[in-house]
Amino acid sequence: MPHPALTYTSLLLASLIAVPLAVLQAHAQAPRPGQLAPGPGQAPPPGPRGQAPQRAPQPAPPKPYKSVAVTPAQPFGDPSFAAFRKQLGDIASRKDRAALARLVVNNFFWMGEKGDKANKKKSGIDNLAAAIDLDSKDGDGWETLAAAANETTLEPLPDRKGIMCSPANPTFDEAAAEQLAKDTGTDPGDWGYPGKPGVEVHAAAQANAPVIEKLGQNLLRIMPEQPAAGARQQESPFVRVVTPSGKVGYVLEELIMSPDSDQLCFVKDAGGWKIAGYAGND
């Protein structure tokens, strides 16, 4: 979450900065915690003063842990916001930059860890484009907007009156979550939660693998597999998890949400909804 909150959220944010993540975009979908392996043929960076490269630390072994309930944010009930999201989705599908520009405020903000990164000499659309990489050749920026258009939740951004950001973060006992990380020898960034109750945990990273457990809406430990040295990291729609009972299995990555993610922010004025800013973890 880009704005200050309680202890666990602050620790989680710090861990997200230090550890590359691999998800969320329906940007309601959540980033997968885990350190990215070096690419094929690439060696890990050398240690200090020419020492041999250090291996990534091994994750703490799996073990049972206390369930900490997570309550996902509820959809924002304003029908005008639903209409705006439809408009935004249509624009994203057409990749219509001119139409998008009309939906962005001039004083667009771009909040990162070190404050507002927006270039005040540039237009709102130019700052939005920089924030979400709208001009990338692979179309990631437009996919981000399309995902934002599908997200139904909103929450107010502290210290910015009238600004609402999406996706809204879930609620959970942050003190219990912080203790959970300590008890399991993990970082706060190693945790997500199922986007709905009853998500299936498979014995292997295959849709037809036996189901070993079904999840409730609780914090869930994410434990990505460590590829062998020099091995190519395989793309998979599954992520390895440890359930509260201590079982290790695999869940479709798209079903795991992040307790903390980048947010697109909006404001409603006399002319309707506009894109007001971007709040990110970098």
Strands, sheet with 115-116, edge to edge from the N-terminal-most edge strand: 115-116, 104-112, 272-279, 263-269, 163-166, 155-156
Mean pLDDT for each 10-residue chunk of the chain (282 residues)?
39 34 34 30 41 65 96 94 98 97 97 89 97 92 95 92 94 94 92 94 97 97 77 80 97 89 93 94 64
Nearest by Cα to 264 from 94, 72, 95, 110: 110
pTM over cut 0.75: no
Q: What is the pLDDT of residue 282?
A: 65
Check: CB of residue 194 under 8 Å from CB of residue 256.
yes
Q: What is the pLDDT of residue 218?
A: 96
Q: What is the pLDDT of residue 47?
A: 43
Residue 7 and residue 175: Cα distance in Å, rounded?
7
Residue 11's Cβ-count burial label (10 Å; 0-12, 13-18, 19+) is: middle
Nearest by Cα to 21 from 34, 6, 10: 34
Residue 275 and residue 282: Cα distance in Å, rounded?
20
Q: What is the pLDDT of residue 225?
A: 79
Rounded to 5 degrees, φ, ψ at 268 are -110, 120
Q: What is the pLDDT of residue 228?
A: 60
